[in-house]
């Protein structure tokens, strides 16, 4: 059975290893296509956001209606 001191020493060693790994992973996260050789397709994070279409603010079929009014107007003259 491990003594308490041996267990503490093992845990301290694990802590140091995990802290070093964490630092390495943080540095990798900071890299992107602007500051490394990675292509832009491999950038992490924000990405592209699609714009939401707002419904109801514009009448649908406005061009067809305008074209119809113009043709009717020219036929009447």
* Maximal CA-CA distance, the chain: 105
pLDDT of residue 37: 77
Task: Encode pLDDT of 33-50 as tens digits.
Answer: 778 777 777 777 665 666
Q: How far apart are CA 23 and CA 63, in angstroms?
A: 58
Q: For residue 44, what are the contacts with CB-CB under 8 A and spacing of at least 6?
A: 29, 32
pLDDT of residue 41: 76
Which of the two residues, 63 and 15, has the higher pLDDT score? Answer: 15
Task: Give the model's confidence band at 63: pLDDT under 50 very low, under 70 low, under 90 confident, else very high.
Answer: low
- pTM reported for the whole predicted model: 0.46
Give the burial class of 43: count Cβ atoms within 10 A of its Cβ; 0-12 exposed, 13-18 middle, 19 or more buried.
middle
């Amino acid at each position: 059975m491990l003594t308490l001191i041996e267990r503490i020493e093992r845990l301290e060693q694990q802590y140091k290893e995990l802290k070093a790994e964490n630092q390495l992973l943080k540095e990798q996260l900071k890299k992107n296509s602007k500051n490394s050789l990675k292509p832009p397709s491999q950038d992490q994070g924000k990405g592209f956001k699609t714009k939401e279409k707002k419904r109801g603010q514009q009448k649908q079929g406005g061009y067809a209606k305008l074209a119809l009014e113009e043709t009717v107007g020219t036929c009447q003259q």
